[in-house]
Homo-oligomer: A and B are copies of this chain.
């Protein structure tokens, strides 16, 4: 019983991973349900025993990606280190995901940012889908300001200074135009972000 339920959850997770892989490579629309099924090694029809629709699957995938990043950032937020170190850790951590599991961030960029029509029905706006992660960014900034490390700024302004460059690097990695491994860029990016946000 319990074992079967566990097996079912695992199978569901397999599908999500496969979907992320293909969605990030080919986009939401160009990825066909049978493609995903093949990637997991099951029949297309069976996908529908796990997810209500292709859209539903994409939403689950987004939620998973958001969680991974949110958890990563939450851990860092809970560490007892300086704000500057937190930013360094986060940029490095994010880039590690970009390197080791590029589909995750690519998927985020390609499917979430770009196919709003897919998500806007469930989430009031796509933004909310990622709320967990966004809140964590908020904590990073608030704590930094409280500690006197960061300049007090409008949230969206500060948010864009962190996530903008990271998103940009996700894109550049996907375009294959970087000369070095992404991770190599982490220290410089972190420093730039810190310079932009730190108390002047």
Contacts and interface: CB of A to CB of B under 8 A. Distances in A.
B175 A127 contact: yes
Given A114-B27, A177-B125, A192-B197, A163 B153 contact: no
A153 B165 CA distance: 14
A60 interface: no
Which of A28, A156, A197 is most buried by chain B, counting CB atoms within 10 A of its CB?
A: A156
Contacts of A133: none
A151 B11 CA distance: 50
Contacts of A157: 185, 188-189, 192
Interface string A112-146: 01111100000001110000000000000000000
A174 interface: yes
Interface string A175-200: 11110000001001100110111001
A161 interface: yes
A165 B160 contact: yes
A110 B113 contact: yes
Given A161-B165, A165-B164, A167-B168, A153 B188 contact: yes
Interface of A: 26-30, 109-111, 113-117, 125-127, 153-154, 156-157, 159-161, 163-169, 171-172, 174-178, 185, 188-189, 192-193, 195-197, 200
14 contacts: A26-B117, A27-B115, A109-B114, A111-B114, A113-B113, A125-B177, A127-B175, A156-B169, A160-B168, A161-B165, A161-B192, A167-B167, A192-B197, A195-B200
